[in-house]
Copies of this chain bind each other. A is one copy, B any other.
Amino acid sequence: MSYRAPVDQITFILNHVLNFPRLAKTELFAEATDETVNAILSEAGKLAENEIAPLNRNGDLTPARLENGKLRSSPGFEAGFRAIAEGGWIGLASDPEYGGMGLPQALNMAVAEMLSGACLSLQLNPLLTQGQIDALQHHADDEMKALYLPKLNSGEWSGTMNLTEPGAGSDVGALTTKAERNEDGTYSITGQKIFITWGDSDVTENVCHAVLARLPDGGKGTKGISLFMVPKFIPDENGNPGVANSLKVVSLEHKMGIHGSPTCVMSYEGATGWLIGKEHGGMAAMFTMMNAARLGVGVQGVGVAEAALQQAVEYATERNQFGPIIRHADVRRMLATARAEVFAARAICLATAITADVARSTGDEDCASRAAFLTPIAKAYGTDVGCRVADMNVQVHGGMGFIEETGAAQYLRDVRITPIYEGTNGIQAMDLVGRKLADGGEAANRLLDEMLDVAKAAQADLPDLANDAFQAAENLRDATQAMLERDLQDRFAGAVPYLNAFAKVLGALFHLKAAMSGDPGRIVLARIFITRVMPRYAADLAEAQAGLADLEAITDDQLAGAFGA
């Protein structure tokens, strides 16, 4: 089995579904010409196929480990990371002033998808480093930018995100890590953090920890939290790694998957930190970091889905039981719906990125709010599709899918973290129906209007598909209106099904756009999505509107199975 980078599929979506070329007409992204885009995607594809994908099994079989407190990453990971760094891929979308290439996020996400499909465990390191780069670009002062950004963009150093503590997960504001002001303007950081991805690294010469902590005068909850840069080695006067900071990796977690990605328990023992942004303003910087990362996580789901689907098709082609099983109707049904869902998830993720790029390059605030609206959908749907397709791949393999040597189980074990980290998909859905509908539905309705326009435009050529999609979009608009009329707890009860419905209808519209190219393959794939996948939105919307009453009527004891007499 070998991963094939889906360069053509990505290019088709960029050019024929999402009108990517409009970006090259802006000043900011003038360099994102057809030629550059093709070269970028083709080079990244080769890297993913030839240098990164071969490492994927190594990560699973020989997990990262601690050796006398030092991290030893999986075989080949150092060379793999070097190849990513030296290709300039980490700084692809970063500010050129600090060593980045200044290209659109959409391209960066396309590259991230391919690297994720090749080796999720390794790709997490660049992903989190990019999140930190984003946070520094937006919130750090010039001195910190000048010191850290070039090293992060080049991949000489890597970055981490330190939010979670044993008692503070989704409720970040419950954290207890302390920061104290030192006389020289630095801070002393003390506390324990968990679930720190790539919290140590032997593939970079320094590890830069962005750590959330509370100053003595920081109030309770999220408003009293500040963000600090806490490097593993304190940079010397030349900006090179100097003395070791007072921090350590206590242990690595034993996880269901992504064994090649070290998940660290970190201890900060009066470690020296530098403030990022303002005192007590840490959450804003953290959100910048998480926002970039959560689209990246959606894209991870797409990447693994693509890889798993390729493996499923290959196995189904080779495996004979009453003829090649790819000819069996039910196997074909599984593969075809998966291919249709991978298209939809990829289109939604890339659309989110392009919308953010347009917002940045034109200052269009509608685009900015649309990108914000799409982000939780992209994260949740991308990762759900990742899990569904990886699960389907196991099923298509039959008994061989359960045997670890096949690799099918690894995709499923690896991708299963993606609906959880960077905010569970439940949290994404609450963000969607809470914060993202807090504008009174403006962003949602603008998007829905455009979706209805797409369906109308397709009516002449593809009447049955267009009508079904139009009707679905209208129902989604009604459901959105109904959602706006509910109180927040009631919305939360329907948040996940609402998000799921939105993703299916939006995916259908992107399929319609693809089908309008007239290509027969695109039309049949759109038909598969619109007749087999999209119709499930109706039950989603029904559940989205079911409200809280029955969930409150059932008691905790009954949930546990105790119904009394």
Q: Which residues in A have some Cβ–Cβ distance to B below 8 Å?
A: 4, 6, 8-9, 12, 164, 167-171, 174, 194-195, 253-257, 306, 309-310, 313-314, 317, 320-322, 326, 328-336, 339, 342, 387, 391, 394-395, 398-399, 401-405, 409, 412-413, 416-417, 419-421, 424-426, 429-430, 489-490, 492-493, 495-496, 519-522, 524-525, 527-528, 531-532, 535-536, 538-539, 542-543, 546, 548, 550-556, 558-565
Q: Is A310's CB under 8 angstroms from B550's CB?
A: no
Closest 10 CB pairs of A and B: A329-B493, A256-B409, A171-B321, A329-B492, A330-B426, A535-B539, A536-B539, A524-B553, A332-B551, A313-B560
Instruction: Give the residue name and chain of the B residue nearest to A9 (CB).
Output: B561
Chain B neighbourhood of A339, CB < 8 A = 554, 558-559, 561
Q: Which residues of B contact A555 (CB under 8 A)?
A: 521
A171/B402 in contact, CB under 8 A: no
Sample (17) of A-B pairs whose CB atoms are under 8 Å apart: A8-B563, A9-B561, A9-B563, A255-B409, A256-B412, A309-B559, A317-B556, A329-B490, A331-B426, A332-B552, A333-B551, A395-B426, A409-B416, A412-B416, A519-B563, A524-B558, A527-B550
Chain B neighbourhood of A543, CB < 8 A: 531-532, 535
Note all chain B residues with C-beta closer than 8 A to A556: 313, 317, 326
Cβ-defined contact, A522 with B336, below 8 A: no
The answer to whether A561 and B430 touch (CB under 8 A), given A257-B402, A398-B169, A550-B336, is no
Structural contact, B561 and A521, CB atoms closer than 8 A:
no
Q: Which residues of B contact A538 (CB under 8 A)?
A: 535, 538-539
Which residue of chain B has its CB nearest to the CB of A532? B543
Q: How far is the CA of A489 from the CA of B333 in the complex (A)?
A: 12
Are B405 and A417 interface neighbours, CB within 8 A?
no
Please, which residues of chain B bring their CB within 8 A of the CB of A409?
255-256, 416
Q: Is the CB of B399 within 8 A of A420?
A: yes
Given contacts A330-B429, A335-B559, 19 further A-B contacts (CB under 8 A): A8-B563, A170-B322, A171-B320, A174-B321, A195-B399, A254-B404, A255-B403, A256-B413, A326-B559, A333-B493, A333-B496, A336-B551, A401-B420, A409-B416, A521-B564, A522-B563, A524-B554, A524-B558, A531-B543
**Are A399 and B171 neighbours in the complex by a CB distance under 8 Å?**
no
Looking at the assembled complex, report how far the CB atom of A260 sits from the nearest CB atom of chain B, in whole angstroms. Answer: 14
If A330-B495, A402-B255, A536-B536 touch, whether A521 touches B554 (CB-CB below 8 Å) is yes
Minimum CB–CB distance for A66 against chain B, Å? 16
Task: Tell me if A399 and B421 are in contact (CB < 8 A).
Answer: yes
Q: Which residue of B lies closest to A404 (CB)?
A: B254
Inter-chain CA distance A520–B554, complex, in Å, is 9
Residues A532 and B519 in contact, CB atoms below 8 Å apart: no
Tell me whether A336 and B554 are in contact (CB under 8 A): yes
* B-chain residues with CB within 8 Å of residue A564 when the two chains form the complex: 519, 521
| Interface contact A170-B321, CB-CB below 8 Å | yes
Residues in B with CB closer than 8 Å to A309 are 559, 561
| Given A321-B171, A521-B564, A561-B6, A328 and B492 contact (CB-CB distance below 8 Å) | yes
The minimal Cβ–Cβ distance linking A58 to chain B, given in whole angstroms, is: 16
Contacts of A387 in B (CB 8 A): 391
Query: Which residues of B sit under 8 angstroms from A412, Cβ to Cβ?
Result: 256, 416
Q: Which residue of B lies closest to A194 (CB)?
A: B399
Chain B CB count within 10 A is highest, among A314, A399, A412, A532, for A399
Are A559's CB and B313's CB within 8 A? yes
Contact for A398 among B170, B391, B560, CB less than 8 A = B170
Bound-state Cα–Cα, A538 to B541, Å:
13
Contact partners of A531 in chain B: CB under 8 A: 542-543, 546, 550
B contact residues around A552 at 8 Å (CB): 332
Q: Which residues of the other chain, B, contact A256 by a CB distance below 8 angstroms?
A: 394, 402-404, 409, 412-413
* Contact, CB under 8 Å: B424 / A563: no
Which residue of B391, B430, B561, B565 contacts A310 across the interface (Cβ within 8 Å)? B561
Q: Return chain B residues, CB-CB under 8 Å to A563.
A: 8-9, 12, 519, 521-522, 525
* A395 surroundings in chain B (CB, below 8 A): 419-420, 424-426
Most central of A425, A496, A539, A551 by chain B CB within 10 Å: A551
| Chain B residue nearest to A555 in the complex (CB) | B521
| B404 x A424 contact (CB < 8 A) | no
Instruction: Indicate if the CB atoms of B525 and A554 lie closer than 8 Å.
Output: yes
Give every chain B residue within 8 A of A565 (Cβ-Cβ).
Answer: 519
Complex contacts, A528 vs chain B, CB 8 Å: 550-551, 554
User: Closest CB-CB distance, A173 to chain B, in whole Å?
Assistant: 9
A501 to chain B, nearest CB (A): 12
CB distance from A415 to the nearest CB of B (A): 11
Distance, CA A171 to CA B391, complexed state (A): 23
Chain B residues with CB under 8 A of A328: 426, 492
A551 and B329 form a contact (CB under 8 A) = yes
Shortest beta-carbon distance from A113 to chain B in Å: 12
